[in-house]
Amino acid sequence: MTAVVDSQAKLPEDREIEELARALDDAVAAGRELDEPGAQRVVAALHRALDDAHRAALVRMVRRLREDERGKELLFELVDDPAVRMVLLMHGIIRPDPMTLARQALDEVSPQLQSHGGDVELSHIEDGVAYVRLSGACNGCSMSAVTMRNGVEEALREKVPGIAGVEVLPNEPGPALIPLSDVGLRRAEPEKGWIRSLPIVGFELDRITAVELRPDGGPEVSAIVVNLGGQLSAYVNQCAHLAMPLDGAELDTSDGSLTCEWHGYCFDALSGECRTLPGTQLEQLPLRVEDGDVWIRAGE
């Protein structure tokens, strides 16, 4: 049998992801509103059968792609497509990673904390424990550190499967991003793990600079320093996609993005958050400026 394709018809792949999702939601809602119980059962059975068939095919496709090195790379690229990602998430073939879910949960609770002068920052998740930093608690605020912590833990337990508790980390002295206009001259004894890289004038405005860091007693670390509009941020010189070097990446000052030259993964230049695949993060290195030199922590 020969299929006839209307060349003027709008194909599903040409439609926006929001339109496809809305059409799916409308179809499911319409099925639930059918008057006859028998008709509802038929629609539900059809829905389950289609889901099972689609999931079985998708699982086979994903497994085959993962068995081949080129297939793995293609799979990374396919997951970036919103429509593909939506379908894989719907069928449980991929799941949002805990860090992404945790950040989403904290985004919801942050406005309440900020209204009381506080805030929360997620550091990492390990063995079911979320490690966070709290700021702005107490000091005359109606929300204490204990109340903040309890609210954060409640939000994370509700939204992130597997979270068993929350640990509050001490706030680090000094930000990771340093406005150059605010640089002061102060002298401090070298601390363990901190390495002097280059004088601050060695990091050109709106440029990426590669540096090699040699911690005492540790392996050499290849890093990059991004100077975006006078703010510095340091990262391990590896893309979060396939660990390719980033010193040749494109820095776009118009939208504050950093784009890997190898496969086009796009990151926020100042936070390291991946814009192409949310939940993926460049490994950021703490940075500070002392006596006109830039120091980066690359060891324990």
Ranking 11-25, 114-128, 130-144, 179-193 by mean pLDDT, the lowest is 179-193
Residue type, 248: G
Selected residue with higher pLDDT from 253 and 175: 253
Residue 134's pLDDT is 82
Q: Is the pLDDT of residue 251 over 90?
A: yes
* pLDDT value at residue 17: 60
Q: What is the mean pLDDT of residues 37-60?
A: 78
Summarize the confidence of residues 5-29 as an average pLDDT: 60
**Of 168, 193, 228, the domain-final residue:** 168
Task: Quote the pLDDT of residue 143.
Answer: 55
Per-residue burial over 102-118, b = 16 or more CB atoms within 10 Å of its CB, e = otherwise? bbebbeebbeebeebeb
Say whether pLDDT at 68 is over 60. Answer: yes
The verdict on 128 and 81 lying in the same domain is: no
Structure confidence at residue 191 as a pLDDT band (50, 70, 90): low
H runs (alpha helix) in 9-95: 17-32, 37-66, 69-80, 82-90
Report yes or no on 26 lying in a domain. yes
Least confident residue range of 6-15, 116-125, 232-241: 6-15
Q: What percent of the chain has pLDDT over 90?
A: 17
Burial class (CB in 10 A: 0-12, 13-18, 19+), 180: middle
For the cut 60, the answer to whether the pLDDT of residue 23 exceeds it is yes
CATH number (domain holding residue 255): 2.102.10.10
Asked if 295 and 287 count as a contact pair (C-beta separation under 8 A), the reply is yes
* Tens-place pLDDT, residues 147-185: 888 888 888 888 888 888 888 876 654 445 555 555 544
User: Pick from 55, 90, 125: which residue ends a domain?
Assistant: 90
pLDDT grade for 246, boundaries at 50, 70 and 90: very high
> Are 194 and 126 part of one and the same domain?
no
Q: pLDDT-based confidence at 5, cuts 50/70/90?
A: very low
Looking at the fold, whether 23 and 67 belong to one and the same domain comes out as yes
pLDDT in tens, 218-245: 788 999 999 998 889 999 999 887 788 9
Domain that holds residue 73: 16-90
Of the candidates 176, 175, 190, the residue with the CA atom closest to the CA atom of residue 291: 190
Q: What is the CATH number of the domain that holds 139?
A: 3.30.300.130
Asked whether residue 138 is assigned to any structural domain, the reply reads: yes
Rounded to an integer, the average pLDDT of 36-63 is: 78
Whether 75 and 66 have beta carbons less than 8 Å apart is answered as yes
In a domain? residue 9: no
Helices (H), 67-180: 69-80, 82-90, 98-115, 145-159
Is the model more confident about 16 or about 195?
A: 195
Beta-ladder partners of 259: 250, 266
pLDDT for 9: 44
Higher pLDDT, 78 or 295: 295
| The total number of structural domains that make up the chain | 3
237 in a domain, yes or no?
yes
Q: Does 292 lie in the same domain as 242?
A: yes
Tell me, yes or no, whether 69 and 161 share the same domain: no
Residues 201 and 290 in one domain: yes
